[in-house]
């Protein structure tokens, strides 16, 4: 979990007040869930303050339901941002979430008057919007909020490795509960963020039915995606599928291409298995 500190020019030497809150990252088909305030023409990542006797995960679930009508499952607390402005310390905890359903959103009176509404926009567009935080130097509140969200999305784009590592811990029960279903959820998010090892291991889950139903078509797609991303084991398995006609039709040319690419990789296991597969072809 990463920690980022943001210091406002107007901060006091010591803070005397603290406000804690949670925000959720929900991504579906390369679109991210944001909330847009019509009255102020301002975007935010959905979330808000923690209530008494409420856990951080419970806060995240409640806030996203209230603001957006989306029911989520927080998968991973990947970031905490501490903001120092005047006498205040604002602590925002960011969770990567799984979208699990819908409900009726319930806005506060202030939110309703401001015209707060949920919107799905492309991840690239969201990053572009928040990257322009310096354009709002005349509006410290908006500038600070956009800087915070920009730093949060930048950190999110680099969180794939952490998600992958946590998924593998769940697979092997390494310091956490062994839970293949949770591992599949984490691997899926890491795969969506372009982590090739996550793609390969998610392929294994679909291949053998670990934490999900067996789906050879999906497994092959994931293996091939990891191969195209330069992952040696993915290259070897893609070559083996083509060579043996596993799910896909046999294709000698594609099999040889991927097996030879695997032999050029830096993974000794992939090299050895690819060499063995090629030798069996005669």
| 209 pLDDT tier (thresholds 50, 70, 90) | very high
Q: Which residues contact 207 (CB under 8 A, 6 or more apart)?
A: 214, 216, 219, 223
Q: Which residues contact 159 (CB under 8 A, 6 or more apart)?
A: 76, 78, 79, 96, 193
Average pLDDT rounded to a whole number, residues 2-24: 93
Q: Looking at residue 282, what is its pLDDT?
A: 55
Average pLDDT rounded to a whole number, residues 127-150: 92
CA–CA separation, 118 and 28 (whole Å): 14
Q: Looking at residue 140, what is its pLDDT?
A: 84
| 105 pLDDT tier (thresholds 50, 70, 90) | confident
Q: Looking at residue 128, what is its pLDDT?
A: 96
Average pLDDT rounded to a whole number, residues 103-127: 93
CA–CA separation, 33 and 67 (whole Å): 11
CA–CA separation, 209 and 216 (whole Å): 9
| 194 pLDDT tier (thresholds 50, 70, 90) | confident
SS3 88: strand
Q: What is the pLDDT of residues 143-193, one digit of tens each?
A: 999 999 999 999 998 899 999 999 999 999 999 999 999 999 999 999 988
Which domains are assigned to the chain?
2-157 (3.90.79.10), 166-280 (1.25.40.10)
Average pLDDT rounded to a whole number, residues 226-255: 94
Q: Say whether pLDDT at 89 is over 70.
A: yes
Q: Looking at residue 9, what is its pLDDT?
A: 84
Average pLDDT rounded to a whole number, residues 194-211: 96
Q: Looking at residue 37, what is its pLDDT?
A: 95
Q: What is the pLDDT of residues 242-263, one digit of tens each?
A: 999 988 999 999 999 999 999 9
Q: Looking at residue 210, what is its pLDDT?
A: 97
Q: How high is the mean pLDDT of the chain?
A: 94
**Nearest CA among 232, 219, 167 for reference residue 193:** 167
């Amino acid at each position: 979990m990463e920690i980022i500190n943001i210091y406002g020019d107007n901060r006091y030497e010591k803070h005397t007040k603290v406000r804690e809150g949670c925000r959720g990252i929900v991504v579906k088909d390369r679109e991210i869930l944001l909330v847009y305030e019509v009255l102020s023409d301002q975007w935010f990542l959905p979330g808000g303050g923690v209530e008494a006797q409420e856990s951080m995960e419970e806060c995240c679930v409640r806030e996203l339901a209230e603001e957006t009508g989306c029911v989520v499952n927080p998968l991973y607390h990947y970031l905490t941002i501490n903001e120092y402005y005047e006498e205040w310390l604002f602590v925002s905890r960011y969770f990567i979430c799984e979208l699990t359903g819908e409900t009726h959103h319930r806005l506060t009176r202030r939110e309703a008057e401001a015209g707060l509404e949920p919107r799905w926009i492309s991840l690239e567009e969201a990053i572009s919007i928040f990257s322009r935080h310096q354009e709002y130097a005349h509006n410290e509140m908006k500038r600070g909020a956009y800087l915070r969200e920009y730093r949060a999305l930048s950190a999110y784009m680099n969180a794939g490795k952490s998600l992958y590592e946590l998924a593998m811990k769940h697979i092997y029960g390494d310091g956490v509960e062994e839970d293949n279903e949770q591992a599949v959820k984490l691997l899926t998010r890491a795969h969506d963020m372009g982590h090739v090892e996550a793609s390969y291991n998610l392929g294994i889950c679909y291949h053998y039915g670990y934490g999900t139903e067996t789906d050879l078509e999906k497994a092959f797609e994931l293996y091939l995606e990891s191969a195209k991303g330069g992952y040696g084991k993915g290259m070897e398995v893609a070559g083996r599928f083509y060579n043996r006609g596993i799910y896909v039709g046999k294709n000698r040319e594609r099999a040889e291409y991927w097996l030879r690419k695997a032999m050029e990789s830096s993974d000794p296991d992939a090299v050895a298995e690819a060499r063995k597969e090629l030798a069996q072809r005669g």
